[in-house]
Copies of this chain bind each other. A is one copy, B any other.
């Protein structure tokens, strides 16, 4: 009780001066590319995979017990089940839910017509223009959390903005959680790599939010991958048992490189992802009916030259539109896409691939977009400049999705035509004077001046401007307010856990 009221007071004073819409309320219609015949065929394949091929749930006897109690058919560790039954279980998950942030102004709605952008997740390396490419460390991690907190176009902190490789694997989740909870007041995810780390994540969230708030709200989610094809290991099922049992949420994203973890076919790979995710969703609802679940999809195409994964290519771009439509029919919030690229640096390749990937992610209606900013090298590296460049572009998507086309009387500007002759100009018209300051999105990193002016200012490319931007942002960083007692409680928890845990580097 004491904790709850602390947290509740805390949230009232934590509103700092960084403007951001907490999430996008989409007003554009969805773009459905599949006709009825295609839909029927795709869903028949999903059902066939669930009923005939089955999904293995491995190395977690508890998970098999849960399936068995529910009456599923178990063959070794392979679960096969009537697709209708699985889909009905999935319908118990909410179409839309709120994840509370410790600053209530930053709480996000996930699902329905809401869209939320979060940064890259999981890269072992970082890169910036001055420091070059290197292993991620705690300092980089914290700087990335700060930049995400400060950027108005990122709604959510994600979690592993880079791997802090200078902290033992067994303990780093504690420092990472502490960074998200204290350096930012945006919502974030928790650890999943081991059951005890998931447990630490929800325990620390309880310190911040209080037991009662946590019992009645989603305040933290875990993000896990299946072991495609058609395999779910205990990392997934244990994370679900920890997060969902406490009423918290889970994101499950089959990561499929078509031709390797799925057939060399976008169609087959998308349906496989759908089948895997629906089976895991059903499992999550057996653990806790009504637990928030986000259906994930992460599909990559392949380079013929080397078998390397490729990003921003037509197959994954198309798959975003397809999975969007399938997820809406299943009634589940969707995670897909991101600003993805195989490029090593923030060159034109990185931007072309990221933009095509993200444009389709946006239109597909992805409700939660991990990797919306900062991704390089197929996810192996977090780029500091890339984070800021992508985030700048996200503001454009925010305007497209959230505002659509204005058809108010003011938008039609009829009075302006009374002021301007044929061939004249609207620069000084009353309508322009009233509207020019809000009519256009101002991208901060795009240079739109003429070539002479651009040369005078040093012929900078976007990467150099992004470097300037994020280094300046860090000098201006101010932490959001947090009550000392909550901070102390978090520190006490971490100190105790660090004593209990051995140093381990794997």
Complex Cα distance, B429 from A200, in Å, reads 42
List of B residues within 8 angstroms of A405 by Cβ: 33-34, 38, 266-267, 318, 322
List of B residues within 8 angstroms of A301 by Cβ: 439-441
Our pick among B53, B302, B342 for the contact of A440 (Cβ within 8 Å) is: B302
Segment at the interface with B among A209-217, A244-252, A417-425: A417-425
List of B residues within 8 angstroms of A259 by Cβ: 426-427, 432, 436, 439-440
Complex Cα distance, B355 from A411, in Å, reads 27
Our pick among B262, B425, B441, B443 for the contact of A426 (Cβ within 8 Å) is: B262
Whether B48 and A435, one on each chain, are in contact in the complex, defined by CB atoms closer than 8 angstroms, is no
Complex Cα distance, B310 from A259, in Å, reads 41
A265 within 8 A of B: yes
Are A314 and B397 also in contact (CB < 8 A) when A263-B416, A347-B347, A405-B267 are?
yes
A260 within 8 A of B: yes
Which B residue's beta carbon lies closest to that of A317? B400
Whether B53 and A417, one on each chain, are in contact in the complex, defined by CB atoms closer than 8 angstroms, is yes
List of B residues within 8 angstroms of A450 by Cβ: 308, 377, 380
Segment at the interface with B among A86-94, A136-144, A149-157, A457-465: A457-465
* CB of A491, distance to nearest CB on chain B (Å): 37
Our pick among B32, B315, B431, B463 for the contact of A264 (Cβ within 8 Å) is: B431
Segment at the interface with B among A227-235, A288-296, A367-375: A227-235
> Which residues A84-143 have CB closer than 8 A to chain B?
133
Complex Cα distance, B48 from A266, in Å, reads 48
Our pick among B31, B38, B314 for the contact of A400 (Cβ within 8 Å) is: B314
* CB of A387, distance to nearest CB on chain B (Å): 12
* CB of A13, distance to nearest CB on chain B (Å): 34
Which B residue's beta carbon lies closest to that of A434? B264
Our pick among B48, B317, B411 for the contact of A265 (Cβ within 8 Å) is: B411
Are A344 and B422 also in contact (CB < 8 A) when A356-B393, A405-B267 are?
no
A348 within 8 A of B: yes
List of B residues within 8 angstroms of A32 by Cβ: 29
Taken together, the copies of this chain in the complex come to 2
Are A264 and B439 also in contact (CB < 8 A) when A351-B348, A351-B351, A405-B34 are?
yes
A82 within 8 A of B: no
Whether A267 and B448, one on each chain, are in contact in the complex, defined by CB atoms closer than 8 angstroms, is no
Our pick among B265, B346, B414 for the contact of A431 (Cβ within 8 Å) is: B265
A378 within 8 A of B: yes
Whether B413 and A265, one on each chain, are in contact in the complex, defined by CB atoms closer than 8 angstroms, is yes
Whether A443 and B262, one on each chain, are in contact in the complex, defined by CB atoms closer than 8 angstroms, is no
Whether A260 and B426, one on each chain, are in contact in the complex, defined by CB atoms closer than 8 angstroms, is yes
> Which residues A426-473 have CB closer than 8 A to chain B?
426-427, 429, 431-432, 435-437, 439-443, 445-451, 453-454, 459, 461-463
How many A residues have CB within 8 A of the partner chain?
124
A412 within 8 A of B: yes
A24 within 8 A of B: no
Are A352 and B265 also in contact (CB < 8 A) when A37-B407, A359-B360, A426-B229 are?
no
A169 within 8 A of B: no
Whether A425 and B261, one on each chain, are in contact in the complex, defined by CB atoms closer than 8 angstroms, is yes
Whether A442 and B304, one on each chain, are in contact in the complex, defined by CB atoms closer than 8 angstroms, is yes
* CB of A158, distance to nearest CB on chain B (Å): 21
Our pick among B34, B345, B454 for the contact of A344 (Cβ within 8 Å) is: B454
Are A447 and B344 also in contact (CB < 8 A) when A318-B404, A396-B313 are?
yes
List of B residues within 8 angstroms of A414 by Cβ: 45, 48
Whether B344 and A355, one on each chain, are in contact in the complex, defined by CB atoms closer than 8 angstroms, is no
* CB of A369, distance to nearest CB on chain B (Å): 16
Which B residue's beta carbon lies closest to that of A410? B265
Complex Cα distance, B261 from A267, in Å, reads 46
Whether B352 and A310, one on each chain, are in contact in the complex, defined by CB atoms closer than 8 angstroms, is no
Whether B349 and A352, one on each chain, are in contact in the complex, defined by CB atoms closer than 8 angstroms, is no
List of B residues within 8 angstroms of A318 by Cβ: 400, 404-405
Beyond A58-B422, A347-B462, A381-B451, 16 additional contacts (C-beta under 8 Å) are A33-B404, A45-B414, A230-B422, A231-B422, A259-B426, A259-B432, A260-B425, A265-B413, A305-B442, A309-B448, A310-B440, A313-B440, A314-B400, A318-B404, A352-B462, A355-B355
Closest 10 CB pairs of A and B: A355-B355, A351-B351, A263-B413, A56-B422, A347-B461, A231-B423, A342-B448, A348-B351, A267-B411, A231-B422
Chain A residues engaging chain B, CB cutoff 8 angstroms: 28-29, 31-35, 37-38, 41-42, 45, 48-49, 53, 55-56, 58, 78, 133, 227, 229-231, 258-268, 271, 301-315, 317-318, 322, 342-356, 359-360, 363, 377-378, 380-381, 389, 393, 396-397, 399-400, 404-407, 410-414, 416-417, 420, 422-427, 429, 431-432, 435-437, 439-443, 445-451, 453-454, 459, 461-463
